[in-house]
Amino acid sequence: MIYLNIDSIQKTYRKGDFVLKNFSLKIPKGKIISLVGESGSGKSTLLRIIAGLENRDSGEIFLENTRILNPKENLVPGFEEIQLVFQEYHLYPKSTVEQNISRPLLLFEKEYRKARVEKLLNLLGLEIHRDKLPKELSGGQQQKVAIGRALSLEPQVLLLDEPFSSLDTIQRRELIAELKTMFDQLGVTVIFVTHDLDDALLMTDHLVIIQKGKLIQQGGAKEIFEKPKNLYAAKLFSHLNPIPDKTRTYIRPSDVQLFKTSGIPAKIMERKYLVHYNQLTVKLPGGEQWLIEDKKRIFEVGERVFLKWNASSEIKF
Ligand code: ADP
Ligand code: MG
């Protein structure tokens, strides 16, 4: 059943210049999706519109049967049921972790407030930090507090706008895994915005790809990886090598096999030692430069290597 219905949203900041173009997306209750797209593709604008914090030019947003009002239609813009979390934490610097999380609950009964804050501190593993000030926490812990605060009002929808971009890779991966478990437990519907596909996939398998304000493709990661709609969607996953003499046909570096004696000859121009393989830049007979993966780390710069791949791995547009 559709829970959050984003229907034909159009948005311009300057006349004629569409930031969102006929953008529609339907999300079932409790689903976590990742919205992925390059910087400037309209992700933040879309989230602000869903949260009722930005006016749309046309189109509608419904949360179940409730129409989300534009700020210009609403005395106090925004909805309790839909909370937005940004990259910057915006915590109250002079309030403790516990106070920061309970702040939105000031008007609620003391008993309820206490129970809710305890639950969130527990779910987020922040009990031992409850009396600390934000500056005494790591970036990851501060972001957890911000998410705890956003969850305090029991929102049905959580919108995360690149919330982990300021964290280092290890912190980020741990936090994403932890939060994913928590979101599943709470049954909250989540739109996770990122430009990093690895982050997106750690959170959920369900991707929505946005390019220049348009929804390009949505579905499971495997499906999009194997059958990307366009070059932009394909390149989110990896570099693509254009196949000579075949127009608009590409092969991923990970799908190219390396041999010492037979295949398409190529000369190794450059070698980079990466975490899982050596990345080689090679020159094909026609002069094209390709990136390939030497997983065994056996080839040297200047050497010749022979390339093969399965025709079924070729990506055509
Ligand atoms: P993303 O979050 O994907 O990077 P944004 O939604 O922030 O994309 O921006 C999409 C486009 O809209 C960009 O070209 C940006 O410059 C423009 N834009 C965003 N916010 C405003 C604003 N308040 N006023 C004018 N232009 C804006
Ligand atoms: Mg943004």
pLDDT of residue 216: 97
Q: Which residue, judged by its Cα, is nearest atom 15 of ligand 1?
A: 40
- Smallest CA-to-CA distance from 314 within 229, 243, 217 is with 243
Q: Which residue, judged by its Cα, is nearest atom 5 of ligand 1?
A: 42
pLDDT of residue 89: 80
Looking at 183, 208, 231, the residue that finishes a domain is: 231
pLDDT of residue 2: 87
Q: Tell me, yes or no, whether 182 and 258 share the same domain.
A: no
pLDDT of residue 16: 87
Q: Which two tokens stand for residue 274?
A: 């990466």
Grouped pLDDT means (10 residues each) for the chain, 317 residues: 94 95 97 96 97 97 96 92 89 96 93 95 94 94 93 95 88 90 94 93 96 97 94 95 94 96 96 97 96 96 96 94
> CA–CA separation, 309 vs 201, rounded Å?
26
Residue located via tokens 């005494």: 136
pLDDT of residue 167: 85
Pocket test for ligand 1, best of 19, 41, 56 (most atoms within 8 A of CB): 19
Q: Tell me, yes or no, whether 134 and 281 share the same domain.
A: no
pLDDT of residue 203: 95
pLDDT of residue 87: 83
Q: Tell me, yes or no, whether 213 and 113 share the same domain.
A: yes
pLDDT of residue 154: 93
> CA–CA separation, 282 vs 254, rounded Å?
14
- Smallest CA-to-CA distance from 218 within 239, 233, 198, 203 is with 233
> Would you say how long the chain is, in residues?
317
**CA 214 to ligand 1 centroid distance, Å:** 14
Looking at 170, 198, 231, the residue that finishes a domain is: 231
> CA angle 100-106-108, nearest 5°?
130
> CA–CA separation, 179 vs 8, rounded Å?
30
Q: Tell me, yes or no, whether 98 and 183 share the same domain.
A: yes
Query: Domain residues for 126?
Result: 2-231
Pocket test for ligand 1, best of 11, 13, 21, 236 (most atoms within 8 A of CB): 13
pLDDT of residue 212: 97
Q: Tell me, yes or no, whether 245 and 132 share the same domain.
A: no
pLDDT of residue 165: 83
pLDDT of residue 235: 94
Which CATH number covers residue 265? Answer: 2.40.50.140
For the chain, the domain total comes to 2
Handedness of CA 276, 278, 279, 285 (dihedral sign): negative
Q: Where does ligand 1 bind, in terms of residues with CB under 6 Å? A: 13, 19, 37, 39-45
Q: Tell me, yes or no, whether 118 and 209 share the same domain.
A: yes
Q: Give pTM, 2 decimals.
A: 0.92
Q: Tell me, yes or no, whether 11 and 126 share the same domain.
A: yes
Looking at 209, 231, 253, the residue that finishes a domain is: 231
Q: Tell me, yes or no, whether 148 and 296 share the same domain.
A: no
